[in-house]
Amino acid sequence: MEIANAIAQLRTAEQLSQKEFADRLFVSRELVSKWELGERRPDYATIERIAGLFGVPIERLIDRNDLLFRELEGCIPKGATLPAKGLPALLDRFLETLSPRDANLFLNRYYYMKKAPEIAKKYGLKENHVRSILSKTRKKLKKAVKEGKL
């Protein structure tokens, strides 16, 4: 199910207006409308909050694989030349440039598909710290690909 339809269905099933729903998430009603129209897509943290608000698993809203690939998609600029062995070879080389901790966090997120809270607990970090490290790591990947260093 597309996330736009899932959000609209869950919201209407709970008999919440877009404004009431937006207020619970601390976002604008306009943003909720864009989500439901498919014009925008909530980030992963917001998707987790939406799932929690309705007491449903995240998979009710999204395909986790799709979300993970979307997170990484922005790291590979359009028209970028991938190595002959493709994305796996590129990612292998990129992981070698990272500290062991950052490489492990990246693998836990994008290979093992673990959520930030799970990763944080495993490595004794705060959830926001994990999100920050992953964000910085994605930016490093994007820069390395853009500059042709991989």
104: part of which helix (H) or strand (E)? Answer: helix 100-110
Percent share of the chain, pLDDT over 90: 55
The whole-number pLDDT of residue 41 equals 85
The answer to whether 129 and 60 are in contact (CB under 8 A) is no
7 confidence band (pLDDT: 50, 70, 90): very high
Q: Which domain holds residue 116?
A: 65-146
104 and 140 in a single domain? The answer is yes
Count of domains observed in the chain: 2
Question: Above 60 in pLDDT, residue 24?
Answer: yes
DSSP state at residue 92: H
81 and 135 in a single domain? The answer is yes
Give the chain's length: 150
79 and 50 in a single domain? The answer is no
What distance in Å separates the CA atoms of residue 123 and residue 104, rounded to the nearest whole number? 9
Q: Which residues contact 99 (CB under 8 A, 6 or more apart)?
A: none
The CATH number of residue 119's host domain is 1.10.10
pLDDT in tens, 78-135: 766 666 667 778 888 899 999 999 999 999 998 888 889 999 999 999 999 999 999 9
